[in-house]
Structure 1
Amino acid sequence: MAEQHPLLEVCNLSVSFQMEAECFDAVKGISFTLEKGQTLALVGESGSGKSVSSSSVMGLLPPNARIGQQSEIRFQGQDLLGMSEKNFRSIRGDRIAMIFQEPMTSLNPYMPVGEQVAEAIIHHRKVSKREAMESTLELFEKVHLPEPRKRLNHYPHEFSGGQLQRIMIAMALANTPDILVADEPTTALDVTVQAEVLNLLKEIQADMGMAILFITHDLGVVRHFADDVVVMCQGEVVETGTVEAVFTEPKHDYTKMLLNAEPKPGDLQHDQHAANILEVRDLKVNYILKNNWLGQPTEWLQAVKGIDLTLKEGQTVGIVGESGSGKSTMGRAIMQLLESEGEISFQGKRFDQLTSQQRFELKRNMQMVFQDPFGSLSPRMTIGEIITEPLTVFTDLSQRERLDKARKALEEVRLDPSSINRYPHEFSGGQRQRIAIARALILEPQFILLDEPTSALDRSVQLTVLELLKDIQKRRNIAYLFISHDLSVVRAISDEVIVMQKGAVVERGTPEQIFDNPQEVYTQRLIKACMLIDEDGVAA
């Protein structure tokens, strides 16, 4: 009788990265197994080695990575580390598929999304392009992409972050893999879509007997989605076991710290008599969907529908809503990154009444942290150059003075100042987000728009960043417009909450009014979905 092997065996995996004069050990001798139909979660803070471990399984490590000589990765008994790239390609995307953490950087910006998913199907199956496109349409319907047939021919930039993640999930499931490696698959998703996607993955797993290697920092999801958990810290495994055992009786202090790291509602005492710093009146943003043969627009999408907003000095207004609700579009319009209709006034000055030089001078006091840290950080610049770039544009400081301020900014966001000469690709997703926050803070602005600033951060670092933002706000009297799908984070930092749906405001009020006594059905549904994931698991 043939020996039965686990579906996936990882034994004594060590991974290091050669960086100029030094070698960095990212993963240090970890081991785990994955059986058919099992969901195993790799949990830990940013930089713990979770994503490096999953990339090793997929054979997607960068050229400067070195795998230890004693390391083994076996798929159904086959040695993956000793396999040729040609043979590995027949497994990758077919038998083992992956959902990446950052969908915008994983999709080709020059190809319609339907063609990209169909390409994955054609590569591994002997089907025509027409059959592949029909399969793609079925997958888009399964992952609840709005207007799936119409959007087959749309490009990645025409989708919200959550919609892009659903497209990546469809691509990963295209060839019904034996193992799905899910690297932070719900990071960019709002709570209602998160519940739908987790239900979808569970449903497909039950139908196919597919195993899932689930990499995440969201312990609320892990508790009810995974069967077993591996807790990682600084490249090492510190605790393993069933989810029930690890969550009810954690043994390692690090595991206990992760479980206790949950944003709590703060005691916010904002000065109601403070001056207005930002005023928005009847803000509208329209996108052209279709032109006639003369190039004249014939079809529009009203992404933002006449929104009013007032932000006072030192105040935080939280904006919540599902992906595609218009949150980020509104933020970009306020920051003058999109054309819009209506009035936008900052420090009492209307942008449409200012010269270009006056607008430039005003923008020193307006900074933004973008949702996608990898896309907003230049890969050709060191983080020291990235963080000091605003100082170069707006100040006359010497290079030494700029670098000194950059080191202090890195310390503020819990990053090693000595890493100032490293590049963005050498950092984890959470670390890159902290670099983006440091860049926004370095000019000491009076207003910062934060577009999903904690979406890529694990819970313990979220708490640190939130406390940092609160502390800086208290000391410098900065106003924040905080856009997020994470309701617990919004509740912890906001003085006022605005709920958006399909480009319009459906409800606004204090955090207590919105979260404890929501009036609108849509708001109630958002909060219920959040509670289902945080407390009772994946929604039924």
Structure 2
Amino acid sequence: MTSASPLLQVSNLSVSFRMEDETVEAVKNISFQLEKGQTLALVGESGSGKSVSSSSIMGLLPPNAVISPDSSVRFQQQEILSMSEKALRSVRGDRIAMIFQEPMTSLNPYMPVGEQVAEAIVCHRKVSRKEAVAQTLALFHKVQLPEPEKRLNHYPHEFSGGQLQRIMIAMALSNKPDILVADEPTTALDVTVQAEVLRLLKDIQAEMGMAILFITHDLGVVKHFADDVVVMCKGEVVETGSVHQIFEQPRHSYTKMLLDAEPKAHGPSEEAHSSYVLEAEDVRVKYVLKTNWLGVDTEYLEAVKGISLAVRPGQTVGIVGESGSGKSTLGRALMQLLPSTGNILFEGQSIRSMTDRQRYELKRNMQMVFQDPYGSLSPRMTVGEIITEPLTVFSELSKQERMQRARKALEEVRLEPSCINRYPHEFSGGQRQRIAIARALIMEPQFILLDEPTSALDRSVQLTVLELLKDIQKRHNIGYLFISHDLSVIRAISDEVIVMQRGEVVERGTAQQVFEAPQQAYTQRLIDACMLVDDVA
């Protein structure tokens, strides 16, 4: 797609960040352009500079960012980099809108979602609050948010990940932008919701004629969603071309590596153990929805409905299901992070009957990797302090010994040991997740619950992390309970698979049985949804 004057033109963009002891070059002399109605995908691994490039376009770089004087970002022939903050505000959210990677951290937890979208409209349009609310309701209908009239006054924590992403799309579209910057908009979504969101974006693009700058690490999505591709590696553009050229005739070795990175099916475990490291019997979790005037609970939501499972040493049990199926709730109940009924046993002993001392020791033997690394890593602690925190509590190692263990853990998850004194906000989403995995592994526990540990990682890093997890499991005989919406990841790492829907187990079996001969229609629908993503175009 070419024209005399592209909608957006990025020329020789270079961005670096001043640190305490060094300057980090994040983007190095990149150039690309975006035409009206075009979908351009910016592709690369975590840390390749994709999000920094989009933040430059939006004028959202942090204070320690330095943009090269030769850099240029022109929108409709206007230079964005030299705009005043006031002029930028008139463009940002109006002519250029953005969908951020993590909707839960992008939305204000203290404001109803309807009020937040209405606020975006009022900021850029001369309309009354009543008119803004009416437009917000229309947008919620457009993005197919369930029961929009009832949910206008709900808060972000009351929505699933897919619903939050729809709200973010509604906010981005509220002022009918010329360009939509979508930064990993489907990263944490299960396959069925991912297909719906991509189809929704395509439909709205066709209706409004806007251009989309699509930032992602998922090449499967790119192939069927984008028109053209820019491949980035370590802050540089290594290859550009149409989708057909990139996928059918890739020239650069890095592009070929990205295309070849796909998790392979996992074979059965070499050893069979008669004992279990973790057992769950008839576990149930209820949330109170309403109480009467006496404070007596009158209405419940049963999120987990009598689930039983068992994990052997050296075995991986995978749990898969759509958002809201109860996967993460079950995991948190097993880790004693939520009140539940039923019986949970660790190495044959009921956790409920353990003494305080035994419970204390249990914490070093049961570790967890959370889904959202941004929320689970303290922003006030360095990476070294975060990773060694469990050692500080459960060991008598010196600070020097703890830091040496931390450096080794960082190397295992493919991060430079030199980043040990940096803070979480200085890393990409995928890098933060690797830090969280390193923190869980440093104690060499007997059981690890992994809640969507690879959802924020690009495919090549996923393969590295999965192989790392398998290797550590084999060496230390650790039992894994692996929760994910990514069916290819579940198949690649799991010995047994549990399929959940609405708090119940609908199917279970070996990975081969579940994926090659599913017995339930719901399981088949999940598998088919992987192919639906390929049909969004």
Please state which band the TM-score falls in when normalised by the shorter chain. Answer: over 0.9
Give 1:468 shift: 0.2
Give 1:104 shift: 1.7
Give 1:296 shift: 2.9
Distance 2:58 2:23 in 1: 22
**Counterpart in 1 of 2:506?**
506
Distance 2:395 2:60 in 1: 42
Distance 1:470 1:242 in 2: 37
Are the counterparts in 1 of residues 30 and 237 from structure 2 also a CA contact under 8 Å?
A: yes
Give 1:115 shift: 1.6
Give 1:157 shift: 2.2
**Counterpart in 2 of 1:249?**
249
Q: Does 1:5 align with 2:13?
A: no
Distance 1:217 1:20 in 2: 30
Is the alpha carbon distance of 1:136 and 1:349 closer, same or farther for their aligned partners in structure 2, counting shifts above 3 Å? farther
**Counterpart in 2 of 1:537?**
535
Equivalent AA in structure 1 for residue 158 of structure 2: E
Are the counterparts in 2 of residues 223 and 537 from structure 1 also a CA contact under 8 Å?
A: no
Report matched runs for 1:79-228 at 5 Å: 79-228=79-228
Equivalent AA in structure 2 for residue 268 of structure 1: P
Equivalent AA in structure 2 for residue 319 of structure 1: I
Give 1:512 shift: 1.3
Which string of whole-angstrom CA distances, capped at 9 and with x for unpartnered residues, describes residues 177-207 of structure 1? Answer: 1110000000011001100000000000000
**Counterpart in 2 of 1:17?**
17
Which string of whole-angstrom CA distances, capped at 9 and with x for unpartnered residues, describes residues 332-356 of structure 1? Answer: 1111111111111111122222233
Distance 1:133 1:389 in 2: 46
Q: Does 1:478 align with 2:478?
A: yes
Equivalent AA in structure 1 for residue 462 of structure 2: Q
Give 1:418 shift: 1.0
SS in 2 for 1:276: coil
Q: Which runs of 5+ in 1 are unaligned?
A: none
Give 1:4 shift: 4.8
Are the counterparts in 2 of residues 27 and 53 from structure 1 also a CA contact under 8 Å?
A: yes
**Counterpart in 2 of 1:408?**
408
Are the counterparts in 2 of residues 221 and 537 from structure 1 also a CA contact under 8 Å?
A: no
Give 1:518 shift: 1.1
Give 1:158 shift: 2.5
Are the counterparts in 1 of residues 273 and 313 from structure 2 also a CA contact under 8 Å?
A: no
Are the counterparts in 2 of residues 165 and 188 from structure 1 also a CA contact under 8 Å?
A: no
SS in 1 for 2:259: helix
**Counterpart in 2 of 1:290?**
290
Distance 2:135 2:312 in 1: 51
Are the counterparts in 2 of residues 115 and 133 from structure 1 also a CA contact under 8 Å?
A: yes
Which string of whole-angstrom CA distances, capped at 9 and with x for unpartnered residues, describes residues 415-436 of structure 1? Answer: 0011100000111111100000
Is the alpha carbon distance of 1:456 and 1:265 closer, same or farther for their aligned partners in structure 2, counting shifts above 3 Å? same
**Counterpart in 2 of 1:528?**
528
Give 1:273 shift: 3.3
Aligned length, in residue pairs: 535
Are the counterparts in 1 of residues 409 and 442 from structure 2 also a CA contact under 8 Å?
A: yes
Equivalent AA in structure 2 for residue 359 of structure 1: R
Equivalent AA in structure 2 for residue 24 of structure 1: V
Distance 2:358 2:152 in 1: 43
Query: TM-score under structure 2 normalisation?
Result: 0.97
Moved more, 128-137 or 260-269: 128-137
Moved more, 491-500 or 123-132: 123-132
Report matched runs for 1:435-450 at 5 Å: 435-450=435-450
Equivalent AA in structure 2 for residue 515 of structure 1: F
Moved more, 104-113 or 332-341: 104-113
Which string of whole-angstrom CA distances, capped at 9 and with x for unpartnered residues, describes residues 301-347 of structure 1? Answer: 11111111111111101111111111111111111111111111111
Are the counterparts in 1 of residues 101 and 184 from structure 2 also a CA contact under 8 Å?
A: yes
Are the counterparts in 1 of residues 316 and 496 from structure 2 also a CA contact under 8 Å?
A: yes
Equivalent AA in structure 2 for residue 160 of structure 1: S
Distance 1:227 1:507 in 2: 39
Are the counterparts in 2 of residues 265 and 491 from structure 1 also a CA contact under 8 Å?
A: yes
Are the counterparts in 1 of residues 269 and 315 from structure 2 also a CA contact under 8 Å?
A: no
Identity of aligned residues (%): 77
Are the counterparts in 2 of residues 270 and 314 from structure 1 also a CA contact under 8 Å?
A: no
Distance 1:277 1:91 in 2: 56
Which string of whole-angstrom CA distances, capped at 9 and with x for unpartnered residues, describes residues 42-84 of structure 1? Answer: 0001100000000000100000001110000011111111111
**Counterpart in 2 of 1:311?**
311
Query: TM-score under structure 1 normalisation?
Result: 0.97
Are the counterparts in 2 of residues 270 and 495 from structure 1 also a CA contact under 8 Å?
A: no
Distance 1:51 1:252 in 2: 22
SS in 2 for 1:344: strand
Give 1:525 shift: 0.8
**Counterpart in 2 of 1:327?**
327
Equivalent AA in structure 1 for residue 497 of structure 2: V
SS in 1 for 2:277: strand
Moved more, 191-200 or 350-359: 350-359
Distance 1:91 1:368 in 2: 42
Give 1:270 shift: 4.6
Distance 2:134 2:513 in 1: 46
Q: Which runs of 5+ in 2 are unaligned?
A: none
SS in 1 for 2:82: coil
Give 1:458 shift: 0.5
Moved more, 86-95 or 123-132: 123-132
Equivalent AA in structure 1 for residue 323 of structure 2: S
Equivalent AA in structure 1 for residue 48 of structure 2: S
**Counterpart in 2 of 1:363?**
363
Which string of whole-angstrom CA distances, capped at 9 and with x for unpartnered residues, describes residues 374-412 of structure 1? Answer: 110001100000000001111111111110110000010
Distance 1:200 1:161 in 2: 16
Are the counterparts in 1 of residues 11 and 30 from structure 2 also a CA contact under 8 Å?
A: yes
Which string of whole-angstrom CA distances, capped at 9 and with x for unpartnered residues, describes residues 95-114 of structure 1? Answer: 11111111121111111222
Distance 1:107 1:456 in 2: 19
Q: Does 1:281 align with 2:281?
A: yes
Give 1:371 shift: 0.5
Which string of whole-angstrom CA distances, capped at 9 and with x for unpartnered residues, describes residues 121-149 of structure 1? Answer: 22222233333233323333333333333
Give 1:295 shift: 3.1
Are the counterparts in 2 of residues 192 and 529 from structure 1 also a CA contact under 8 Å?
A: yes
Are the counterparts in 2 of residues 15 and 28 from structure 1 also a CA contact under 8 Å?
A: yes
Distance 1:250 1:400 in 2: 46
Distance 1:270 1:165 in 2: 41
Distance 1:229 1:261 in 2: 17
**Counterpart in 1 of 2:433?**
433
**Counterpart in 1 of 2:33?**
33
State the superposition RMSD in angstroms.
1.4
Give 1:481 shift: 0.6
Distance 2:21 2:55 in 1: 24
